[in-house]
Structures are given as structure tokens and as C-alpha cells.
Structure 1
Amino acid sequence: MIRSWPLTLLSLCLLPLLLALGSWQLQRADEKQQIIADIDARLAAQPRKLSALESPEIFTPVRLLGFYTDEYFYLDNRTRNGRVGYEVLQVFVSGQQRWLINRGWLAAGSSRNQLPEVNYPLAAKVINGFLYPVPAGKGLANIGAHARIQMIDTGLTAVLGLDEPAWSIRLSADSDTALVTDWEFVNSTPARHKAYAFQWFSMAAALCILWLLAATNIRSMITAGIIRR
């Protein structure tokens, strides 16, 4: 039945690899689904006062009473639904503590030289959000307020004199001072991993069909059977 052993051996080497890659993508989809479920469960909890937290934990819902300062920054190259814009980072004072709040996304203007206007209340406000870590880094020592920045790190937050430089707060969509939130918690969705798995399994199926047609006598055997009938 087999008329090409080199193609057969090549197919035997490739088939397990393709199946393994498809299974790995399905496993990644399950892992991402579990991560999303854990995040949703944590975000669904009642907001807590920061003073009641023993130690900060990512995605812990919090509620603060205080006011925004005029210290805000434009986090550059942030997109929502394919549109380019900025995430607005602004200092919020609650009691004696200073926190960096990510208020969400603003669309960029028609020109890079014109930054979008940031509006904020002057009176005291209650805001709802969740804790999110700030990556470690050196930051910019001489950054000014209302500046355009490429990234946020502990170097920047240390310069701002925050009480917790390693943490920021991302606003929830129900906060009235929130801009466009639509936070992305995982870099790829379970559906995308399942699509990748389908592609690998499809390639495995195509390899089997090509092997049957190119490396075996299946076509001639089927043709002979039809002729005999």
C-alpha cells in the first residue's frame, strides 16, 4: 500500500508535532479561561477601603474619597477598537495618601502636537477601581505635569511621591470620573487559542489526506475497485 517511505516517515514525524501544538493551544485556552474567571470573581467583590488592606493584591476592588490634583499624564500609544489615543494617569489625594489613578482612554486629536483636553472635578469625589501593579523601572527624573509618556514604571511613581509607588488604581466603568475603560486583562482570549488549535488540527488532517494521496496506492486501489464493479 505504501509507495513512498520518505514521505511516510516525514508525515510520521510531523503528525505528532501538529497534534501536540493543537493540544497545547487548547490547554492555553483553558488556562486563560481560568484566569479570566479568577479576575471576574475578584472584581465582583465589594470595594474595600485602602486603609483596611493588609497588603495590596492585584485586582482588589477599592473605594477612595478624595480629590484629583492637576498632576496628570498622557500614556501614549493606547488603542481602543482600533483607534489610537492615550490613557490618562492622574494623581488622586485621599486623606494623607497620594495615589496614581488610571482614568481610562481618550482619543488622540488630529495632530500629534495637540493633546486632548482632560477634564476633572475640583470638588471631592468618591471613586471606584481596582489595584494594578506598576512595573519596576528608572522612569524620568525631570518629567513635567501634563506630559506625554511612553510607559509607566516605579521610577515615575517614585518621583510623584506616591504612598505605594509599586501600585496604581484603574477606575471601574461605574466611576463617574472614568473615561473609556474596556481594560484588557489577558493578551489573548480563550477563543483565539481555540482558533489556533483548530488551525493545527486542520493542518494535521490535511497532512493525513496528502499522505494518503501522495505516499500510498489508495487512489489506484479505489480506482481498481470501481473498475471491477
Structure 2
Amino acid sequence: MQSSNNANGSNTEYCEKQYPNTFQLTPNWKLSVFAVLFLPLFISLGFWQLNRADEKQEFLDAFNHQQQLPAMSLGEYVAIKEPQPYRQLTLQGKYDQQRYWLLENQVQQGRQGYRVIVPLSAVDGEAYKTVLVDLMWVMAPPRREQLPQVTIPKTARISGYLKQPGDNPLLTYLPETDSWPQRVVELDIDAMADQLGVEVLPGVLHQQQGVAPVNTTPEKHQGYAWQWFAMAIALAMATLIANTNITSLLRKHSNNASTHVNSL
């Protein structure tokens, strides 16, 4: 009996050493340094994605509002003398069939191609303006030195909205040659107007009515945000487990509970 008691006492002491009753720190410096560096980053990226979602939603609300307004003629647009981004315009005039741009690296349905940007000399009564029109997408030839064959209509009556080209700091508007058509990787409204020698309306006219020009929806940004937050939570939990004896306390609590159940 005494030996049994001694054995029980030894087991108790062993358990207490293995699974102490009090919360203790067990520093893991490598993981702690990693957490200090990356935990704030993950959280900030999550909030940044939420801010992007709010910005996209505000943009979509403004875009949808403009799209619901009646389309304006060129004369009405010019008379306002203020930019009306994403407001529907109805224009008629003549295309410049010789001078146009091929904006490369434009993928559509998994195929590489170009957006064809053509100047339109729009006329509405006494109002006369040149408008850069995103006319169409064309598939790129197999060899890059080849340019696609494009048929530009002579006249047109079109509707669309003006949109400013994206500003990518890694890309520069720089035509490869002085001959037309000109292949470019980026659009620059001012530089294109200088090449034409005329004043143009601010932006490029897109003919996709009702289609919001966004690559990522607010819902996707929110999804990305929660992914960053989930990574932050996982890192915080891993850091807590690696730097404390919390798992030992939980294991001891589980063992005590099992012993209590077995004794019943």
C-alpha cells in the first residue's frame, strides 16, 4: 500500500513538473521577432483592403448614378465646361482612318491582343471636338513584329463614357516609331493630343454602356481583407503557443477532467 502511495505521489510530482499549474512564459525569440515584423503588416494590409473596398463602392455608386442620367450631346457636354466622368455621351463624326494607336498587352478571354484607340472628329452644331475612342479589341498576330489588320469605319454615331487611362508608374507612353499606326504600352492623353496637333476631350471614350470599369469588386477586396486578418490571427495564436505554456495547462486540464470522469 505504501509503495502504491509512493507511486501515486511520484506520478503527481511528475505531472506537476511536466504540466505546471501556473501560466508561464517560454520565449521563442525567432517566432517573436517574426510576429513583431509581420503581424502589424498583415493587419494593416487587411484594413487597406477594406479601404479599397469602400473606395470601389463609392466609385460604383457614382458610376451607376452617372449611367442613369440621360445621355448628353457634344454641345451639351462642351457647354457645361466641367469634366463629367462616366457620363454617357452620344457623338457623331468622322474617324481618322490613318492615325490610331494599338494599346498592347490587352487580354480578352485568355487571348493576347490590342485595344484600338482612334481619334474621332465629333461635330454637334457649332461644337467641334476630337475624341479618342476605344473602338475595339483585336487579336495579336503570332509574331510581335506583325501588326494586326484593322478596318476603321469612316463615320460613326456612337455612345459611351469618358474614362481617364490608368496611370502605371512602371509604364511610359513611348511609341516605337513615328509611323502610323503606333504601338504603345500606356496611354497619355496630353502626349496623344500633341501628336495629333489638336485639343481633345479629357479621357478615352468607352462604348461598354452600363459596364463598370473595375477589375476588382468591393466584395473581392473584402475577401482579401479577411484573408489578411485570418493570417494575423493564426500568427498571433502561433506566437502565443510558442512563447507560453498554455498548451501544457490545457493538456493538464484535459487530463484532470478525464481522471475525474474515470473516478466516477
**Is 1:3 aligned to residue 38 of structure 2?**
no
Provide TM-score, normalisation by structure 1. Answer: 0.78
User: Is 2:230 aligned against 1:199?
Assistant: no
CA contact (8 A) 2:121 2:129 kept: yes
Are the counterparts in 1 of residues 163 and 205 from structure 2 also a CA contact under 8 Å? yes
**Structure 1 residue ranges without an equivalent (≥5):** 175-181
2:121 counterpart (71, 89, 93): 93
Structure 2 CA distance for aligned equivalents of residues 226 and 135 of structure 1: 59
1: CA distance between counterparts of 2:58 and 2:118?
A: 32
Tell me if the contact between 2:66 and 2:86 (Cα under 8 Å) persists in the aligned partners: yes
| Aligned-partner Cα distance in 2 for 1:139–1:156 | 10
Amino acid at match of 2:186: M
More helix by share: 2
Does residue 22 of structure 1 match 2:58?
A: no
1:43 aligns with 2:71: no
Q: Give distance in 1, aligned partners of 2:37 and 2:143.
A: 54
Q: 1:1-229 alignment to 2 at 5 Å? A: 1-4=23-26, 18-53=42-77, 54-55=80-81, 56-70=83-97, 71-95=99-123, 96-122=128-154, 124-133=155-164, 143-153=178-188, 154-164=190-200, 166-172=202-208, 185-186=213-214, 188-228=216-256, 229=259
SS in 2 for 1:225: helix
Identity of aligned residues (%): 29
Secondary structure of the structure 2 residue equivalent to 1:169: strand
Q: Secondary structure of 1:208's match?
A: helix
What CA distance in whole angstroms lies between the structure 2 residues aligned with 1:35 and 1:165?
21
Unaligned runs of 5+ in 2: 1-22, 260-264
Query: Measured at CA, do residues 199 and 88 of structure 1 come closer, stay the same or move farther in structure 2, by a change above 3 Å?
Result: same
CA contact (8 A) 1:138 1:156 kept: no
CA distance in 1, matches of 2:102, 2:66: 28
- Structure 1 distance, partners of 2:202, 2:121, is 16
**Structure 1 residues 188 and 138: alpha-carbon distance in aligned structure 2, compared to 1, 3 A threshold:** closer
**TM, length-normalised to structure 2:** 0.69
Q: 1:74 to 1:208 in 2, by over 3 A?
A: closer
Q: Which amino acid aligns with 1:127?
A: I
Given that 1:134 and 1:165 are in contact with CA atoms closer than 8 Å, whether structure 2 keeps it comes out as no
Letter in 2 for 1:24: W
Which residue pairs with 2:7 in the alignment?
none
Q: Give 1:86 deviation, angstroms.
A: 0.8
The 2-side partners of 1:215 and 1:132 are apart by: 53
- Is the 1:100–1:162 contact (alpha carbons within 8 Å) kept by the matching residues of 2? no
1:160 maps to amino acid: L
Deviation at 1:20, TM superposition (A): 4.2
Greater Rg by CA: 2
Give aligned pairs, total: 220
Q: Which letter does structure 2 place at the counterpart of 1:4?
A: T
Matched position secondary structure for 2:72: coil
Residue type at the aligned position of 1:2: Q
Alpha-carbon distance between aligned partners in 2 of 1:143 and 1:13, rounded to the nearest angstrom: 50
